[in-house]
Amino acid sequence: MIQCLKKAYEAQTIAKKYFEDEYGITDFSYTEWFNVTQDTLKDDDKNEVKDSIGQRAGKAVYGYEGWWGYDSMPVIKSTNGSEYQTGNWGEEIIGNDDKTSVTQYWLKKGSNGWRLDVANEVSDETWQNFRQSVKALNDDNVIIGEIWTDASKYLLGDMYDSVMNYVFRDAVIGFAKGGSAQDAMNTVERIRERYPKEAFYAMMNLVSSHDTSRVLSFLDGIGDDREDKTINGAFPRYETTSDLAKQRQYLVAFMQFTYAGAPTIYYGDEIGMVGADDPDDRRAFEWGKGNKELVTWYATLAQIRNSYAALRTGTVEPFETGCDNIMSYVRGDDTDRMIVLSNNSSDEQEITIDTENLGVSASELTDLISKSTYTVSDGKVTVTVPALKGVILTNDVKTISVNTDDLAPAYDPSYIIEVRKDIVADDEKKDDTSKTEDEKKDDTSKTDDVKKDDASKAEDAKKDDTSKAEDVKKDDTSKAEDVKKDDTSKTDDTKATDSTKPGDTAKTVTTADTADGTEKTVTTAAKETVDWDKEADAIKNADPKAVLSVKMDESGILPANILEALKGTDKKLVLDMGNGIKWIINGADISKIPSKDIDMSVTVGGNAVPENVIKNSNLGKDVKKTLQVSLGHDGEFGFKPVLSLEIGKEYAGQYANLYYYNPDTKKLEGQVSVLVKNDGTAQFTFEHASDYVISVTDEAAITNTKKSPNGGDDQNMALYIALMGFAAAMIGVSVYRKKRS
């Protein structure tokens, strides 16, 4: 035993000296935090894990306890039943008098709190000291624990402020999928009765997270266990998700925003993203591909909740309606008493409510969702609750409005981020050249005989090439003269087309800066003719919310039958005009079909607007750039196409101001100011085609009051960011791991 201890001490001394000499490490107190054993670490195939650095490179790694077996997550040793008592771990990680612990460091850097992963597997003493450390910096710093069951013991004021409310999730989704209203209400009532009021109203009421299937997929039968190995079960798609599941999500969101606690939206749920359990639930946010109706639903519910304090901090008073498809309660405070009814049936339900017993005294009640008004007679009111949705009844009706343009990045296809081909190509190039060291050695291990043979062949080839060189040189010289003449001819043709106008053959035009800073007009090359019959069939057969793209030919003409195929649908058509110019047409925005085909051609950099008009107009303060835009169509479109133009990446974050040229008054009339996006593009919604001028300025030069054209900018995304940002801040980043059921 003495000999073993002596060897261990010698090994420890050698190791410390190595790290001191090589890395300058002198504090080895952290070695007391972990249980390290003589047994070597094994991988999933029971093979020894080899070290890759230092003097032990290539040798087996000593064993240590990893969380649920994951070697990337070593477990902190528990001393006397508490991690906090292990060495100086508590001081370094949890808190100290100097406020330099890891916990306090990030709070001082600007974080507003902590979410504690698998919090139930850490000692109470640790979290009690953690709370003291966190609150010492700011009492408003929030502590949220990941607890999947009843969390009463953690919410008594000495550990957490709130928990991820998976109990709420189970109750709400269970009800939405057709479960008993009474059972669901009993579950959430138990939570309300057990938790302190302060914690109850701060519950993180989520229905999806990085540890579960997304709510839409879960509603469609895809569980949290990844046991379904089919393609659609492991990697679900929105297109194959049932309509019933999609409709049920509206009900789930309705209950989140009308019940007590903090409605927490896992990024992407509000646009209809799908996903199986971890890691499929972590897909990147699908900008521009969302369901506009669903996004608007979430935004509307958020606006309603923000407008009524009773829905945020009011009492929760359940009552029975006699229908187990209806979950019902009153939300009330000193100002309002609001009746909330949720219907999980596929049929609308007619419910009669005794308003007097509920303490609601009003002769008339209005549903904030449908705007329907109901008369109260003899203390009773009969209400129609729509299928798979709900009603919020009140006698205090406030204006609830949502600007869908503010939410455009979620559903507008112009915000779709395309895969950069140069990055893909670069990755493929790296992959092709990523040979292992052994391969490289093998490639260079030619024998001397081969080298000599290659050298001999090279000499013969050199002589042969030399004899051919003179003939090739003469031939190339002859060809060069012909090419030069041909280029000269092309140059003359190009000059002739530089003055192309909207009515000419080449329809899509862009601008290029010249050496003197002015702009010249450049015509795009002709494209192949579009097979519009084929495109019309593709639109008709596409998924309900599909985004289709067409590369326009040189005519720039869009047949009216294409608009007929789009009208009344949620499908979107993107017309790629070339040179960074695109039209986006939403089927829902088509009000009438033109009697003839539409000229969608766009001229950027023409001279339709006289230069003296531009010079004498106030186009904003400190104008950075101006350009003319002429639309080939004449008059009203009959729909609202969105035009995406390349302004320049150097102008990202600045404003593109659109002015309509009035040929009668010979003046420019301000229409709209939009932000130039990070990719250098700006987007404008048109109802009328004419000639326009765009100026670029640091500040918006136009008060956006005009109806046409509208801007597709995203400068006022506060509500949308609130939906996503709250979820991101709460959930944070978690290491990928499989959860214990």
Query: Catalytic residue positions?
Result: 117, 146
Rounded to an integer, what distance in angstroms lies between the CA atom of residue 208 and that of residue 353? Answer: 33
Q: Is it true that the peptide bond before 641 is cis, omega within 30 degrees of 0?
A: no
User: Is residue 315 within 8 Å of residue 333, measured between CB atoms?
Assistant: yes
Q: Do residues 412 and 712 make contact, with C-beta atoms less than 8 angstroms apart?
A: yes
208: exposed, middle or buried (Cβ count in 10 Å: 0-12, 13-18, 19+):
buried
Cβ distance 95 to 104 under 8 Å?
yes
Residues in the chain, total? 741
- What does the DSSP 8-state code read for residue 48? B
Q: Which residue has the tokens 């010492």?
A: 136
C-alpha 257/C-alpha 342 separation (Å) is: 12
Give which of 677, 715, 676, 728 is closest to 697, Cα–Cα. Answer: 676
Strands 349-354 and 315-318: unpaired
Q: How many helices (H) and strands (E) does the chain have?
A: 20, 30
Measure Cα distances from 259 to 349, 388, 465, 510 in Å.
Answer: 21, 17, 84, 54
- Tokens 């090359």: give the residue: 525
Whole-angstrom distance, CA of residue 535 vs CA of residue 496: 34
CB atoms within 10 A of CB 676: 23
Residue 657: name the closest of 676, 643, 641, 636 by CA: 676
DSSP state of 453: H
Cα Rg of the chain, angstroms: 34
* C-alpha to C-alpha distances, 656 to 120, 601, 605, 672, 684, nearest whole angstrom: 53, 21, 15, 8, 10
Count of C-beta atoms within a 10 Å radius of residue 168:
25
Within 13 Å, how many C-alpha atoms sit on residue 677's CB side?
18
The residues, any chain, with a CB within 8 Å of residue 200's CB and separated by 6 or more, are 191, 192, 260, 261
708: Cβ contacts below 8 Å, ≥ 6 apart: 671, 685, 686, 687, 688
CA angle, residues 729, 734, 738, in degrees to nearest 5: 140
**Residues contacting 366, CB < 8 A, separation 6+:** 372, 373, 374, 393, 394, 395, 397
Query: Which ranges in 95-214 belong to alpha helices (H)?
Result: 102-108, 124-137, 166-176, 181-194, 197-200
Residue 694: which of 601, 586, 603 has the closest Cα?
A: 603
